Amino acid sequence: MIDKQPETLRLADELDTANVDELIFSDIVERSTAELRRLHEVNADLIDALQFCSGTSYITDAHRVAEEALAKG
């Protein structure tokens, strides 16, 4: 099975190889900022889930919250 390259790494590769003129006339900057915002939201959800899991003694609740957070990533 071939894993699809994560969008973040694909955008980083595109930015690495783009010149300034290409960036001005492309949507790479807009796509990159959208991806950064999406990752920030996923990161916040994962932190919330970890905080919940570390504060609960109920394994089933911790498992459910962790699964939900991971599904968003």
Question: pLDDT tens digits for the chain (73 residues)?
Answer: 456 778 888 888 888 888 877 777 778 888 888 888 989 888 888 888 888 887 777 777 777 878 887 787 6
The pLDDT value recorded for residue 3 is 62
In a domain, 40, yes or no: yes
Number of structural domains (the chain) is: 1
Q: Which residue range forms the structural domain that includes residue 57?
A: 30-73
**Integer CA distances (angstroms), 12 to 24, 38, 47, in order:** 16, 15, 24
In a domain, 42, yes or no: yes
In a domain, 15, yes or no: no
Collect all residues with Cβ–Cβ distance below 8 Å to 56 and sequence separation of at least 6. 62
Whether the Cβ atoms of residue 71 and residue 49 lie closer than 8 Å to each other: no
